[in-house]
Amino acid sequence: MSYYKTTIVVEVLSEQPIDPCSLADIHDGITVGEWSGNWKIQNVKTISGEQMAKELVDQGSDPEFFGLTG
């Protein structure tokens, strides 16, 4: 089975620096707030189950999420 690692870049234009926030907050700031924004898929990479398990652990998730073992 193949797994995929997708990197998405969100670009935001604003009058003030943006403090760290959630993707939901960024979405709101772009769609109904005072920011202009755009997003694009920067990279899609096929990875093995072993690499996916490592990536999940690195994100603080559990490999069990996709039925994998660490």
pLDDT(70) > 90: no
Q: What is the pLDDT of residues 11-65, one digit of tens each?
A: 999 999 999 999 999 999 999 999 999 999 999 999 999 999 999 999 999 999 8
Tell me the residue length of the chain.
Answer: 70
Q: What are the boundaries of each domain within the chain?
A: 3-66
Distance, CA of 10 to CA of 53 (rounded, Å): 25
Measured in whole angstroms, the distance separating CA 31 from the mean position of its chain's CA atoms is: 18
Task: Please give the model's pTM, rounded to 2 decimal places.
Answer: 0.78
